[in-house]
């Protein structure tokens, strides 16, 4: 069944839309306020998805063990940092390049999985990881005439990838604790639980440190609600795709996010990519696809 292909493509589309809406809030709400939008306004939709999954799999049960809370807390903190770093990178180096640098989560996740979970890689996956790493290195290599702002965008992009790698592995461990027999249900419960933690933590932090950012998020509730829905829809569609097909082909199809980000960057933010950036961005996407299929 190839139904996972359009579902994955739709998930990537919602993910790009969420990033674009969040970036639009950056000017007034700042990176942490824009990060809050993803979690706070997506939480009601995530809870609806949990109810839907429970209706589909009534035999599923959630086991909130101590190991779950440790893994979920680590993943939640890493994802908050990853989102803020990604939005900052997109603001400094461009929307499309920020999305490309986020793909550094691939080599970072492979290293974390190997070091902590003892997960090996096939030769094709190693080749893909190598190609993606070379592509990212070429994209981030300092060039003459490039300002500090653009270079800091590179750094934030790579930090985002590293944080996402930690979050992905932590969420996987948390989901296995929830219910190892109902993967989609466990993933949705883990996502909604961590979203509640992230929302509460960020609201408290902004109320203390930057009330103006919190007010900006609430004032822009229409865009915030749109970003929250897009984020929750993307997560639900990713989980659905993973329930229909193995993670490798789903992740390979998900590379469509990169050309979509390039298109959105050009249309909405008047960004243009050089031939160098297009070439190595394509190499990075190919490396991610090979690693996934490996």
pLDDT attached to residue 51: 92
Q: Taking residues 268-287, what's their average pLDDT? A: 77
The residue-averaged pLDDT of 153-172 equals 83
- As a whole-number percent, the residues of the chain with pLDDT over 90 amount to 21
**pTM to 2 decimal places:** 0.82
Asked if pLDDT for residue 103 goes beyond 90, the answer is no
- The dihedral region occupied by 64, where left means phi > 0, alpha psi between -120 and 50, and beta the remainder, is beta
Residue of 77, 126, 75, 83 lying closest to 102 (CA atoms)? 83
Quote the pLDDT of residue 168: 76
Cα→Cα distances 140→175, 178, 281, 286, 290, Å: 34, 38, 11, 17, 21
SS3 of 182-208: the string is CHHHHHHHHHHHHHHHHHHHHHHHHHH
| Per-residue confidence (pLDDT) for residue 20, from 0 to 100 | 87
Task: Determine the pLDDT at residue 248.
Answer: 59
282 burial class (0-12, 13-18, 19+ CB within 10 angstroms)? Answer: middle
Mean pLDDT of 280-291: 77
Mean pLDDT of the chain: 81
Cβ-contact 243, 1 below 8 angstroms: no
Contacts of 206 (CB under 8 A, 6+ apart): 32, 33, 36, 213, 214, 217
More confident residue, 270 or 39: 39
Look-up of token digits 């690693």: 291
| Predicted confidence (pLDDT) at residue 275 exceeds the cutoff of 60 | yes
pLDDT of residue 200: 95
Sequence-distant (≥ 6) Cβ neighbours of residue 274 within 8 angstroms: none
Instruction: Identify the weakest region by mean pLDDT among 175-184, 206-215, 263-272.
Output: 263-272
State the residue for tokens 């979970």.
Answer: 117
Sign of CA dihedral 153, 157, 158, 160: positive
Most confidently predicted of 1-5, 52-56, 179-183: 52-56
Residue 142: pLDDT above 60? no
What per-residue confidence (pLDDT) applies to 243?
A: 63
Give dist(CA 194, CA 199) in Å, integer. 8
Give the residue from 116, 45, 20, 44 showing the smallest Cα distance to 75.
116
Across the range 72-84, mean pLDDT stands at 93
Position 120 scores a pLDDT of: 60
Give the contacts of 153 (CB within 8 A, at least 6 positions apart). Answer: 88, 89, 90, 91, 92, 93, 94, 97, 98, 101
């Amino acid at each position: 069944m190839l139904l996972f292909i359009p579902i994955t493509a739709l998930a990537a589309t919602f993910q790009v839309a969420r990033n674009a809406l969040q970036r639009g809030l950056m000017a007034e709400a700042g990176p942490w306020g824009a990060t809050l939008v993803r979690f706070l306004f997506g939480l009601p939709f995530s809870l609806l998805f949990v109810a839907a999954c429970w209706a589909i799999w009534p035999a599923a049960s959630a086991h909130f063990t101590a190991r779950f809370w440790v893994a979920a807390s680590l993943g939640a903190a890493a994802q908050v940092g990853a989102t803020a770093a990604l939005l900052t990178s997109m603001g400094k180096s461009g929307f499309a390049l920020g999305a490309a640098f986020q793909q550094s989560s691939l080599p970072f996740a492979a290293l974390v999985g190997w070091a902590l979970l003892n997960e090996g890689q096939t030769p094709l996956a190693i080749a893909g990881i190598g190609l993606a790493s070379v592509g990212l290195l070429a994209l981030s290599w300092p060039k003459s005439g490039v300002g500090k702002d653009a270079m800091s965008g590179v750094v934030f992009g790579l930090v985002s990838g590293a944080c996402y790698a930690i979050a992905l592995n932590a969420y996987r461990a948390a989901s296995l604790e929830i219910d190892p027999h109902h993967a989609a249900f466990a993933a949705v419960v883990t996502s909604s639980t961590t979203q509640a933690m992230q929302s509460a933590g960020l609201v408290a932090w902004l109320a203390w440190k930057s009330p103006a950012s919190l007010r900006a998020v609430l004032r822009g509730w229409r865009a915030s609600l749109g970003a929250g829905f897009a984020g929750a829809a993307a997560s639900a569609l990713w989980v659905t795709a993973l329930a229909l097909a193995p993670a490798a082909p789903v992740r390979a199809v998900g590379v469509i996010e990169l050309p979509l980000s390039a298109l959105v960057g050009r249309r909405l933010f008047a960004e243009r990519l050089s031939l160098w950036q297009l070439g190595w961005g394509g190499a990075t996407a190919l490396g991610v696809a090979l690693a996934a299929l490996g």
